Amino acid sequence: MLCPCQSGQWYNECCRPFHQGKAAPTAELLMRSRYSAYVLGDAAYLHRTWSKHTRPTLKSLMQSHSIQWLGLTIECTEQGGSDDQEGIVEFTARFSENHQEQALHEISRFVRENGRWVYLAGVHQ
Ligand SMILES: [Zn+2]
């Protein structure tokens, strides 16, 4: 299947290796794989790629939501490369809730923990 992150690549060659344990090399790729995990309902992946300082409980992430994710657009990125320790990804995610289409525009901060990128926090625009 095509990857839920809408990269245009196959899931097997895009976000799946990250979901299976491979370290995402950049903050943007981690962001994409997290979006895919939301689409696929992979709460464990969301939990382990969330900073231990800010993450919600796994249980709360596993609660089902009535949201249907419709698409992801990466607006821009700052740092977050293979040699960086911090990164910022600005994105828009479209979703439908209660049959109403909405958009989430967020500037997300990513840091490395134990060498791996994790999501720290986001500011909604
Ligand atoms: Zn992907």
Q: Which two tokens stand for residue 116?
A: 């791996």
- How close is the Cα of 25 to the center of ligand 1, in Å? 13
> Ligand 1 centre and the CA of 16: distance in Å?
7
1-17 pLDDT, tens digit per residue, is 999 999 999 999 999 99
Q: What class has domain 11-124?
A: alpha beta
Residue spans of beta strands (DSSP E) within the chain: 67-79, 86-97, 100-113, 116-124
pLDDT of residue 57: 96
The environment of the single-atom ion ligand 1, i.e. residues with CB closer than 5 A, is 3, 5, 7, 14-15, 32
Q: Please, are residues 110 and 120 in contact by the beta-carbon 8 Å criterion? A: yes
CA separation for the pair 30, 101 (Å, rounded)? 25
Report CA(117)–ligand 1 centroid distance (Å). Answer: 16
pLDDT in tens, 19-74: 999 999 999 999 999 999 999 999 999 999 999 999 999 999 998 778 899 999 99
- Tell me the domain boundaries of the chain: 11-124
* pLDDT category of residue 125 using cuts at 50, 70 and 90: confident
pLDDT on residue 66: 80
- pLDDT tens string 105-123: 999 999 999 999 999 999 9
CA–centroid distance, residue 110 to ligand 1 (Å)? 18
Instruction: Supply the pTM of this predicted model.
Output: 0.95
Q: Put the strands of the sheet holding 116-124 in their side by side order.
A: 67-79, 86-97, 100-113, 116-124
